[in-house]
Amino acid sequence: MNHKLTVVIIEDEKNICTFIETALENHDYKTVAAHTGKEGLSYIASLCPDVVLLDLGLPDIDGMDIIRQVREFSAVPILVISARTSESEKVAALDAGADDYITKPFGTSELLARIRTALRHSQMSASSPKSSESVYRCGDLTINFDKRLVTIADREVHLTQIEYKLVSLLALNAGRVLTYDFIINHIWGPYADSNNQILRVNMAHIRRKMEENPADPKYISTEIGVGYRMREPEN
């Protein structure tokens, strides 16, 4: 009776594809598998899926080109699943328009969590700008976007204007990794120095104010060489 969310899987390794199909179908997703880029693009255009899982190393079209082509006609969430582990590859995929990047091998729990995050952001983007998501809650941390108020265990955290902008940007995209360049452009503008030093300094100040142990952060994690990710909010 319930409408099943459709996931297009573009993966040429049959065993990995079967693993993903089984995992998703066991959690009530409908899956459609493509083993070439051309086939995958055709499915995306014709089926209008809810999520796309994309391997970068395909036999006919490089995954990066698929991301760029899809972004010309669709905002469907794209999760890259790849054996390519270099930081530059991850950054390039995210900057090209991918919503997240999962490195092989990965487990079912991680995959499902990343899909839920991508779907949540997709639904938020489709809703009106005045979303009901005016408060972020995770553990003892609460961010009230309307009041521009950050509290931990009901104690107000005093942030500078830049620090609040950073925290709210990450919280509004909670669960997604935001690249250094994306954050710098969003906070300081497109003509800001691409050197990450100013971002790292501000993040260090934020962690000292918000984290019980800044060396082992609970709320904002570092994706080394790529960017930062805020922990998923709790319902």
CB atoms within 10 A of CB 160: 12
One CATH from 3.30.450.20, 1.10.10.10, 3.40.50.2300, 3.40.50.1860 for 135-230: 1.10.10.10
- pLDDT tens by residue, 111-138: 999 999 888 877 766 554 444 458 999 9
Model pTM?
0.76
pLDDT at 126: 55
Give the C-alpha separation, 162 to 159, whole Å: 8
Domain locations in the chain?
6-126, 135-230
The tens digit of pLDDT for each residue in 169-179 reads 999 999 889 99
Task: Give 16-29 pLDDT, tens digit per residue.
Answer: 999 999 999 999 99
For residues 120 and 144, what is the distance between their CA atoms, to the nearest angstrom?
19
From 2.40.50.460, 3.40.50.720, 3.40.50.970, 3.40.50.2300, which CATH number describes the 6-126 domain? Answer: 3.40.50.2300
Helix (H, G, I), strand (E, B) or coil at 179: strand
Distance CA 120, CA 170 (A): 15
∠ at Cα 182 (108, 65), nearest 5°?
65
> Would you state the pLDDT for residue 64?
93
Is pLDDT above 80 for 96? yes
